[in-house]
Amino acid sequence: MTWRQALLLSCFSAVVLLSNAKQKIFMQESDASNFLKRRSKRSPKPRDEVNAENRQKLRADELRREYYEEQRNEFENFVEEQNDEQEERSREAVEQWRQWHYDGLHPSYLYNRHHI
């Protein structure tokens, strides 16, 4: 057998194999059109599809819950800082008032002051 005959034989066998593989790889046109529409609108969903949808909904709920919890924590921290600042300003004002009105005779507490 010459090299030309070997080459022709190998090319012919490759063509035969590819034609058989083409039939196995590619679908018929009727099957391809119905591939994505496996069920009608009234038929029940398969259990796997229902489970997948439920997992997606649960994950979305969890992400939403985490987001709102984070937002709430940030707002609570902001409010706490605001209240602390207000309390500090108020304490400073009271302390200044006590220093200004201290008469030197009694302890500098408002509840120890004598009233005239």
pLDDT for residue 50 is more than 80: yes
How many residues in the chain? 116
User: Under a CB-based contact definition with an 8 Å cutoff, are residues 74 and 62 in contact?
Assistant: no
User: Under a CB-based contact definition with an 8 Å cutoff, are residues 95 and 89 in contact?
Assistant: no
Confidence tier at 116 by pLDDT (50, 70, 90):
low
Look up the pTM and report it.
0.44
pLDDT for residue 88 is more than 90: yes
Tokens of 35: 């591939």
pLDDT for residue 12 is more than 80: no
* 3-class SS letters over the chain: CCHHHHHHHHHHHHHHHHHHHHHHHCCCHHHHHCCCCCCCCCCCCCHHHHHHHHHHHHHHHHHHHHHHHHHHHHHHHHHHHHHHHHHHHHHHHHHHHHHHHCCCCCCCCHHHCCCC
